[in-house]
Structure 1
Amino acid sequence: MSYTITTTIDAQFDDVVAAVNTALQDEGFGVLSDIDVQTTLNQKLDVDVDRYRILGACNPSLAHDGLAEDPELGALLPCNVIVYETDGGDVVVSAVDPEQLVGIAENPDLDEIAGDVHDRFERVIATVSVEFGTTVESE
């Protein structure tokens, strides 16, 4: 079962992060949190890992609609988009598939909202892919 929408890009990490942020903004999302996993693990555990960022994306209108349908949905928000380097030097961009995520709530009233977010995340990943000349994959 696929739970992410993913693309792999041959580009500079910071350029990809900037493109993801722009594409999210164009789809109505703000980034509520930006976790630099590399720095955090280095500071907390004194380990070195490749660059890895977790962007907590939220579309306020869609979040409001979802929370109105099911207040427990807040446990699944914000939706995460990750950007990380591979050992080969490529950069992976992967967004959670909201349809899969919301599926655990077993609330059909959330299906339309999850579908909307899914479509927007597909467009975000596609936009970033096109910008860097790659294709979208699902995992």
Structure 2
Amino acid sequence: MDIALGTKVSGTFDDVVARTRGALSDQGFGILTEIDMQATLKAKLGEDMEKYLILGACNPQLAHRAVGVDRQIGLLLPCNVVVREDTSAEDSFYVEAMNPDVMVQVSDESGLEAVATEAATKLRAAISAL
């Protein structure tokens, strides 16, 4: 099992982030958190790295169903979506989302399978739209 669902896209970083936000929104996901890894590592450690943004995406209906099955599943929410620069090609970025099947594997709770399947379908649709 792959831990990520993803694709590679071209454009400017800001454009790819905006397109990713829009595609996620079209599938019912809101962005709860945003972590700019490049800025954080520079500020905290003085380290340089490529553009790397973590979006904490949440579909409220799916999250509600998941925590209804297993209250501890909140430890794996929201679903992280990463937009990161491909350092081998100009104006090229990877957009990757956590594979929801990870939730099922980690919890071993069969009741999460339907939620994970629906979440994966929506995330794949968002990624395909990019």
Quote the residue 1:136 is aligned against: none
Please give the alpha-carbon distance, in whole angstroms, between the structure 2 residues aligned to 1:102 and 1:40: 31
**Amino acid paired to 1:38:** Q
2:111 paired residue number: 109
Q: Percent identity?
A: 40
- Greater shift, 75-84 or 97-106, is seen at 97-106
Deviations 1:46-89 (A, max 9, x none): 11111000000001111111101110100100000000001123
Secondary structure, counterpart of 2:87 in structure 1: coil
The answer to whether structure 1 residue 77 and structure 2 residue 80 are counterparts is no
Counterpart for residue 93 of structure 1: 95
Looking at structure 1, the residues matched to 65 and 102 of structure 2 have their Cα atoms a distance apart, in angstroms, of 18
Structure 2 counterpart of 1:11, one-letter code: G
Structure 2 residue aligned with 1:42: 42
Give yes or no for contact 1:56–1:78 (8 Å, CA) kept in 2: yes
* Range moving further from structure 2, 1-10 or 56-65: 1-10
Structure 2: which amino acid aligns with 1:44? K
TM-score, normalised via structure 1 length:
0.89
- Per the normalisation by structure 2, the TM-score is 0.95
* Structure 1 gaps, min length 5: 129-139
Higher relative contact order (CA 8 A, sep 6+): 1
Give 5+ residue unaligned stretches, structure 2. none
Residue-pair matches, total: 128
